[in-house]
Amino acid sequence: MANLVIVRHGESVANQLKTYTGWSDVALTAKGRQQAHQVGRQIKDAGFQFSHVHTSLLKRAILTSYIVLEELYQLALPMTKSWRLNERHYGALRGLNKDTTRTVFGVHQVARWRRSYTAVPPLLIRSSTARRYRLVPRKSRPRGESLAQATQRLLPYWQDQVVPGLLAGQDQLIVAHGSTLRALIKVIEQISDQAIDGVEVANGEALYYQFGTDLTVLKKGRLALGSETDEEKEN
């Protein structure tokens, strides 16, 4: 048997300001750092001993990872940072206030962009040129994504980097983002395209899965309950 724990980063500045973030690199708030410490303590109390940590290339997830590992006294663990664990790319919506977009584009259109599995937000003119993505082929860098596309981006990492450890009986920790964790949950639990709309992971919340030797889910649960509102979802 092996355990997987997945954690959503603590509250970010964008969560606090109710803006779309996606691949924008924003910091944690003081509340977000507190959430990271809290979830780290709850994971410690549950007794998990991880073999590897996986996170994105975005600092809100990276810093949450470090805080959690400090609480676990497991800072020496090997860590892999991958663009495939980045948040869903919100395209030209990034940086915009969510209430403002409802006024400009309409409530139903915004709800479709945010919650539909296949809807793609307005695209950026060009993909990111940030140095952190220098090893990512330009054609693979999104200018905006649906949750379905983010799932396809995530899958190779899950299959090649996380699954082998689980099959070897090694507990794994993933610290990532609202949408990419929803995508991962969809894969693990085989949730339908329609039902995934109702799945949420709060800021600073941890979920765990216990897998059998054939990667069937034997047990699952939530370790920490966050306090986000509907407006703080995703990002």
- Domains in the chain: ranges and CATH: 2-232 (3.40.50.1240)
Angstrom distance (rounded) from CA 35 to CA 125: 35
Active site residue 9: yes
DSSP 21: -
9, 54, 89, 177: the catalytic one is: 9
Contact (Cβ atoms closer than 8 angstroms) between residue 132 and residue 112: no
Instruction: Please tell me the chain's helix, strand, coil percentages from 3-state DSSP, rounded to the nearest 5.
Output: 45, 15, 40
DSSP 143: S
- What's residue 228's pLDDT? 38
Contact (Cβ atoms closer than 8 angstroms) between residue 224 and residue 1: no
71, 87, 228, 234: the catalytic one is: 87
DSSP 138: G
Active site residue 37: no
Contact (Cβ atoms closer than 8 angstroms) between residue 219 and residue 210: yes
Number of C-beta neighbours around residue 160 at 10 A = 10
Q: From first to last of the 235 residues of the chain, give the pLDDT tens digit.
A: 999 999 999 999 999 999 999 999 999 999 999 999 999 999 999 999 999 999 999 999 999 999 999 999 999 999 999 999 999 999 999 999 999 999 999 999 999 998 899 999 999 999 999 999 999 999 999 999 999 999 999 999 999 999 999 999 999 999 999 999 999 999 999 999 999 998 999 999 999 999 999 999 999 999 855 433 333 445 5
Angstrom distance (rounded) from CA 61 to CA 26: 10
- Model pTM score: 0.93
**Tokens standing for residue 108:** 């139903």
